[in-house]
Amino acid sequence: MSRHRNIRSMDFEEECDAFDDVYGHSVEDDYSMSPSQAAFMYNRNNIQIGSYLNSQKDIEEEDEEIESNEELKKAKLESCVEQIRGTLGTTMTRQQIVDAVVGFDYNVERALNSLLNENPKTQESNRSSKVQTEDLPSSKVVGGSSGAQGKTRTVTKGFDVVVQKDVSRLSSTPDSQSPASGRGTPVNVDEELNKKWEPKIDVLAQYKKDRSDSKQHLYMIVIGHVDAGKSTLMGHLLCSLGQVHQKVMHKYEQESRKLGKQSFMYAWVLDETGEERNRGITMDVGRSQFETQNKLVTLLDAPGHKDFIPNMISGAGQADVALLVVDATRGEFETGFDFGGQTREHALLVRSLGVSQLAVAINKLDTVSWSKERFDDIKDKLKVFLKQAGFREADVTFVPCSGLSGQNLVKKSTENELISWYNGSTLLEVIDNFRPPERPISKPLRFSINDIFKGVGSRLCVSGRVETGCLSAGDRVLLCPSREIATVKSITLEDVPYPVVYAGDQPTVTLSGVEMENVSVGYIMCDIQSPVQVASKFQCRIVVFNVKVPITKGYPIVLHHQSLMEPASFSKLISQLNKSTGEVVKKRPRFLSNNTSAMVEIQVSRPIALEMYSEYKELGRVTLRVGGLTIAAGLITKIIL
């Protein structure tokens, strides 16, 4: 009997001791805790009291692992006992039930049967299966992945490493007690495990064949301070290109006039919800498509208001190039640029999210009677700033225009005041001149999910961006961090079905085999043989932009990674670096202030799917925000746990 003591928690020991007592024995009421309840419990032993405890981390974590295993076992045991009690009443002693439950490996039905048949034979089999359970405890909880545990750690990229991580994730983080972790259904991926990922060799050829006869696809995000005229500019452009039916435009004109917001009629092309139209500001990224001479452009109209920057960030993560719109009106450019406006923040954000080509539309020039001085003045100021922000001078183009009157958008301007000093490109030509970005097609699949909804026939649909690799209908894919397997039913690009999509595309994918509750925005869909990494702690190199108070250890932040938004904190300030050379200036700084560069360790509140920058640029970038301000951008250099 003593053999399984280590499996169950200590309470039973006491019972055993009290067994031969003459006057009977008393039993402590055990409580089993539902996971949702557990989230509200403060257990002193589990609280990590930070750095000032002189204990060795490794050992501590191991202890905890066992403990929560025990905890889990106990809870499981309790629920089984409860169930059996429900059927049998109190005719059996608790000890008998417990024995049976443990003996039959928590299989209630079998335990019940054995208890009901109570004969020596089943007792016998009880004992033999008990022996088996001995070795199970440590691996049991992990479910299907236990097989991989014994393998040695090899490269950073293997499947086993991820599994290893998963083990600790399930058991050691306090998170595993929270309701959210219920999502982490262990997956049996044994058969897939044996195959190694290798690039489909024909993928490049296939891509050429598929896409060579169509125009280059380009994703452009339109950014700038609130009310710079982004939506109006784009709405007017779409209109002039014939993308918006005249009837529709007429309707917008009528309706916006009724609301007394006629100046927003073009913005309505992109601002579609009632809320946006009534308030006259964009709240979530609007999408539309148009063609230039050589390109098929999907435009993403970002919101300028600072409260909606999270949406803008998720949009920027999907863009290849950016169009920065600034308001040339006197005083307005200054608000947006000099005094904490979003012109700076947006430009820094898109740059740190990997956009390197930028067009600047100096808009509303009609309000300053197309003044060349104003144009040049703004251009000079922005040039200096954009260079500091990391844009190459050759990659930045300036174009004067007016979204409301539609000057210099598609056709050369008819404004004499403008033609007198400007005969450069129109906005459309500038867009057409963007260089097509590189598409990492031959890497394993990574797809960042940015929206989840029910499609036709209430099938689960996800949309987002293929960051690397390609995706075909019929593929089996892994959704991380919940590690759910799904099958791709169909793929559409702007409502047209496609059999295969490639890196850079932003399709809508219909999935089967997975529930809506088990996927969230910010999840990564990836190749089963070569899955994305999952961790809640990582090292990254950051550039600190502008902070009101210095960054210290423990500083709470919101982490943005693709479309994901998650609370996090700095768990360690490793070193402060020289901004240009990258040399270590100071080890373990006490704090970081404005315009510094540093190596830090970040702890996220729950595991997320991510990659090192050196391996997958697209998934190796993070943006850190505090109190509605972007305080830093970083590149992931090392994944810890």
Ligand X SMILES: Nc1nc2c(ncn2[C@@H]2O[C@H](COP(=O)(O)OP(=O)(O)OP(=O)(O)O)[C@@H](O)[C@H]2O)c(=O)[nH]1
**Residue from 336, 352, 237, 359 nearest 286 by CA:** 237
Provide, rounded to whole angstroms, the least separation between the CB of residue 556 and another protein.
5
Cα-Cα-Cα-Cα torsion 134, 137, 143, 149, nearest 10 degrees, comes to -90
Listed ranges 75-83, 93-101, 225-233, 581-589: which one lies at the site for Mg ion (CB under 5 A): 225-233
User: 155: alpha, beta or left, given left = phi > 0 and alpha = psi -120 to 50?
Assistant: beta
Q: Which does 521 bind (CB under 5 to 8 A by kind): ligand X, Mg ion, another protein, none?
A: another protein
Beta pairing class for 524-527 and 476-480: antiparallel
> Of 265 and 449, which has the nearer Cβ to another protein?
449
Q: Which does 157 bind (CB under 5 to 8 A by kind): another protein, Mg ion, ligand X, none?
A: none
Measured between alpha carbons, how far is 454 from 562 in angstroms, rounded to an integer?
22
Provide, rounded to whole angstroms, the least separation between the CB of residue 313 and another protein.
13
> Of 57 and 127, which has the nearer Cβ to another protein?
57
Cα-Cα-Cα-Cα torsion 136, 141, 142, 144, nearest 10 degrees, comes to 70
> Of 9 and 367, which has the nearer Cβ to ligand X?
367
> Of 221 and 551, which has the nearer Cβ to ligand X?
221
Measured between alpha carbons, how far is 468 from 437 in angstroms, rounded to an integer?
13
Provide, rounded to whole angstroms, the least separation between the CB of residue 233 and ligand X.
6
Q: Which does 493 bind (CB under 5 to 8 A by kind): ligand X, Mg ion, another protein, none?
A: none
Q: Which does 582 bind (CB under 5 to 8 A by kind): ligand X, Mg ion, another protein, none?
A: none
Provide, rounded to whole angstroms, the least separation between the CB of residue 301 and ligand X.
7
> Of 311 and 563, which has the nearer Cβ to Mg ion?
311
Q: Does position 623 bind Mg ion by CB under 5 A?
A: no
Strand segments (E) across 272-372: 286-291, 295-301, 321-327, 358-363
Provide, rounded to whole angstroms, the least separation between the CB of residue 302 and ligand X.
7
> Of 99 and 332, which has the nearer Cβ to Mg ion?
332
Provide, rounded to whole angstroms, the least separation between the CB of residue 177 and another protein.
12
Point out which residues pair with 486 in neighbouring strands: 477
- Per the CB < 8 A criterion, the answer to whether 353 and 334 are in contact is no
Provide, rounded to whole angstroms, the least separation between the CB of residue 624 and ligand X.
23
Buried/exposed code over 528-550 (b: 16+ C-beta within 10 A; e: otherwise): bbbbbbbbbbbbbbbbbbebeee
Query: Which 3 state secondary structure label does DSSP give 149?
Result: coil
**Residue from 72, 74, 73, 96 nearest 84 by CA:** 96
Q: Which does 264 bind (CB under 5 to 8 A by kind): another protein, ligand X, Mg ion, none?
A: ligand X
Measured between alpha carbons, how far is 411 from 429 in angstroms, rounded to an integer?
9
Residue ranges binding ligand X (CB under 6 A): 224, 226-232, 263-264, 267, 280-282, 303-305, 363-364, 366-367, 402-404
> Of 301 and 527, which has the nearer Cβ to another protein?
301
Provide, rounded to whole angstroms, the least separation between the CB of residue 366 and another protein.
30
Q: Which does 450 bind (CB under 5 to 8 A by kind): another protein, ligand X, Mg ion, none?
A: another protein
> Of 92 and 285, which has the nearer Cβ to ligand X?
285
- Per the CB < 8 A criterion, the answer to whether 468 and 440 are in contact is yes
Residue tagged 């050691």 (tokens)? 172
Provide, rounded to whole angstroms, the least separation between the CB of residue 206 and Mg ion.
38
Query: Which 3 state secondary structure label does DSSP give 425?
Result: coil
3-state secondary structure string, 603-636? EEEEEEEECCCCCCHHHCEEEEEECCEEEEEEEE
Listed ranges 82-90, 231-239, 545-553, 591-599: which one lies at the site for Mg ion (CB under 5 A): 231-239
Beta pairing class for 500-502 and 470-472: antiparallel
Query: Which 3 state secondary structure label does DSSP give 121?
Result: helix
> Of 127 and 588, which has the nearer Cβ to another protein?
588
Query: Does residue 481 have a cis bond before it (omega within 30 degrees)?
Result: yes
> Of 184 and 229, which has the nearer Cβ to ligand X?
229
> Of 389 and 409, which has the nearer Cβ to ligand X?
409
Measured between alpha carbons, how far is 481 from 599 in angstroms, rounded to an integer?
25
C-alpha pair distances (Å), 20 with each of 13, 17, 95, 387: 13, 7, 13, 83
Among 133, 172, 176, 231, the residue binding Mg ion under the rule CB under 5 A is: 231
Binding mask 265-304 for Mg ion (x = CB under 5 A): -----------------x----------------------
Provide, rounded to whole angstroms, the least separation between the CB of residue 296 and Mg ion.
23
Structure tokens at 456: 């036709």
Q: Which residue is nearest to ligand X (CB)?
A: 304
Provide, rounded to whole angstroms, the least separation between the CB of residue 521 and ligand X.
21
- Interacting residues of 505 by C-beta distance below 8 A, sequence separation 6+: 217, 465, 466, 493
Query: Which 3 state secondary structure label does DSSP give 56?
Result: coil
> Of 51 and 512, which has the nearer Cβ to another protein?
51
- Per the CB < 8 A criterion, the answer to whether 426 and 411 are in contact is yes
Q: Which does 287 bind (CB under 5 to 8 A by kind): ligand X, another protein, Mg ion, none?
A: another protein
Measured between alpha carbons, how far is 342 from 350 in angstroms, rounded to an integer?
12
Provide, rounded to whole angstroms, the least separation between the CB of residue 292 and another protein.
21
> Of 13 and 338, which has the nearer Cβ to ligand X?
338
Provide, rounded to whole angstroms, the least separation between the CB of residue 59 and ligand X.
53
Using CB under 5 A, list all residues that contact Mg ion: 230-231, 282
